[in-house]
């Protein structure tokens, strides 16, 4: 009897092992293409950059991991709820602020030209040698040039304006610099990516490098790419910034998270962005 139970156990263990193997990398959508309004094709697959050293076989946008319905929302600018934020951001672009009574447009002119490519290269090292995210550049303009009260890092005005600015790079490949002055920040970001946090002792890599394509409870794990940010999350019914998403992820490991706009998150943003070098900037994505 004992032997029988044991062999039965072993048999079910074997079945489990088989099931686990086949469930691993229950892949992103094999052939869906992201074409906006039937006109603009965005690359949702790309060759992995050399610095990844084989950690990912190919890059996949988070769009490929979502349901048919969620993917469809992003294929039509009329249905994409994030476009409302882009429109609100376009108004802010023209709105005069502060003691100088100047708007973004007064200096930067037509965003379609002056802001083209900005999202694709952020975050980057500024002229003083600090690593800055797009939000830092906006706040710096507001305080030093406009002499205005800066938007909060995660305020709705900031998310609307960064949505509008990101939209100007839609379709361009992500291309953040990781060498030269950016190298030490990138190294720190990489170290953070592979550091386990929280009571659950999970690093970014545990989910987004080792287990992408698998289910974590009811959620289909993506590669954790940030080429679609700022993103409209159906869960929040609003725009979500990159740092807000980082904070949520680290919180979910049951850790005390870093603050939005912290140096740690800027470095992580640089490293995570570099893992998506080659994917299209999606301007404003829609996710679950």
Partner 1 sequence: MSEVKPRIRLPRSVKAGQAAEVKTLVSHVMETGLRKDSSGNIIPRMIINRFTCEYGGEMVVDMALEGAISANPYVEFDIMVGDATDVVFTWYEDGGAVYTQTEQLTIG
Q: Looking only at Cα atoms, what is the longest distance across the chain?
A: 87
Binding segment (CB under 8 A) for partner 1, from list 14-22, 75-83, 96-104, 116-124: 75-83
Q: How far apart are CA 50 and CA 72, in angstroms?
A: 32
Please report whether residue 156 would count as binding partner 1 according to CB under 8 A: yes
Binding segment (CB under 8 A) for partner 1, from list 11-19, 73-81, 94-102, 130-138: 73-81
Task: For the chain, give the secondary structure using H, E and C.
Answer: CHHHHHHHHHHHHHHHHHHHHHHCCCCCCCCCCEEECCCEEECCEECCCHHHCCCCCCEECHHHHCCHHHHHHHCCCCCCCHHHHHHHHHHHHCCCECCCCECHHHHHCCHHHHCCCHHHHCCEECCCCCEECHHHHHHHHHHHHCCCCCCCCCCHHHHHHHHHHHHCCCCCECCCCCCHHHHHHHHHHHHHHCCCECCCCECHHHHHCCCCCCEECCEECCCCCCCCCCEEECCCCEEECHHHHHHHHHHHCCCCCCCCCCHHHHHHHHHHHHCCECEECCCCEEEC
Please report whether residue 237 would count as binding partner 1 according to CB under 8 A: yes
Residue with tokens 């100047």: 102
Please report whether residue 78 would count as binding partner 1 according to CB under 8 A: yes
Q: How far apart are CA 114 and CA 95, in angstroms?
A: 17
Please report whether residue 152 would count as binding partner 1 according to CB under 8 A: no
Please report whether residue 286 would count as binding partner 1 according to CB under 8 A: no
Please report whether residue 92 would count as binding partner 1 according to CB under 8 A: no
Nearer to partner 1, 42 or 85 (CB): 85
Nearer to partner 1, 80 or 223 (CB): 80
Please report whether residue 88 would count as binding partner 1 according to CB under 8 A: yes
The least CB distance from residue 287 to partner 1, in Å, is 16
Binding segment (CB under 8 A) for partner 1, from list 25-33, 74-82, 142-150, 271-279: 74-82
The least CB distance from residue 196 to partner 1, in Å, is 36
Nearer to partner 1, 39 or 127 (CB): 39
Please report whether residue 94 would count as binding partner 1 according to CB under 8 A: no
Nearer to partner 1, 89 or 228 (CB): 89
Q: Using CB under 8 A, which of 79, 130, 191, 210 touches partner 1? A: 79
Residue 196 tokens, joined: 């386990």
Please report whether residue 270 would count as binding partner 1 according to CB under 8 A: no
Please report whether residue 36 would count as binding partner 1 according to CB under 8 A: no
Residue 202 tokens, joined: 């999970």
Pairing assessment for the beta strands 285-287 and 231-233 based on DSSP bridges: parallel
The least CB distance from residue 252 to partner 1, in Å, is 24
Q: Using CB under 8 A, which of 49, 81, 98, 278 touches partner 1? A: 81
Q: Give yes or no: 107 in active site.
A: no
Catalytic residue ranges: 249
Binding stretches for partner 1 (CB under 8 A): 78-79, 81, 84-85, 88, 156, 160, 237
């Amino acid at each position: 009897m004992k032997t029988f139970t044991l062999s039965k156990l072993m048999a079910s263990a074997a079945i489990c092992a088989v099931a686990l193997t086949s469930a691993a990398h229950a892949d992103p959508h094999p052939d869906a293409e992201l074409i906006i309004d039937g006109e603009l094709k965005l690359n949702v697959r790309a060759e992995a950059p050399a610095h990844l050293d084989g950690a990912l076989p190919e890059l996949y946008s988070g769009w490929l991991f979502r349901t048919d319905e969620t993917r469809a929302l992003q294929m039509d600018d009329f249905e994409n709820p994030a476009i409302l934020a882009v429109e609100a951001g376009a108004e802010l672009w023209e709105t005069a602020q502060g003691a100088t009574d100047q708007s973004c447009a007064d200096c930067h002119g037509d965003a379609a030209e002056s802001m083209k490519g900005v999202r694709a290269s952020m975050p980057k090292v500024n002229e003083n040698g600090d690593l800055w995210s797009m939000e830092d550049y906006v706040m710096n303009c507001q305080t030093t040039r406009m002499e205005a009260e800066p938007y909060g890092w995660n305020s709705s005005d900031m998310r609307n304006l960064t949505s509008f600015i990101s939209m100007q790079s839609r379709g361009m490949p992500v291309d953040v610099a990781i060498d030269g002055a950016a190298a030490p920040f990138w190294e720190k970001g990489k170290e953070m990516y592979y550091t386990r946090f929280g009571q659950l002792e999970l690093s970014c890599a545990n989910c987004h490098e080792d287990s992408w394509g698998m289910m974590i409870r009811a959620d289909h794990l993506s590669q954790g790419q940030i080429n679609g940010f700022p993103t409209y999350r159906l869960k929040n019914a609003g725009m979500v910034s990159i740092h807000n998403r980082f904070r949520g992820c680290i919180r979910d490991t049951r850790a005390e998270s870093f603050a939005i706009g912290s140096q740690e998150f800027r470095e992580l943003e640089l490293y995570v962005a570099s893992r998506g070098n080659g994917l299209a900037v999606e301007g404003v994505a829609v996710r679950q």
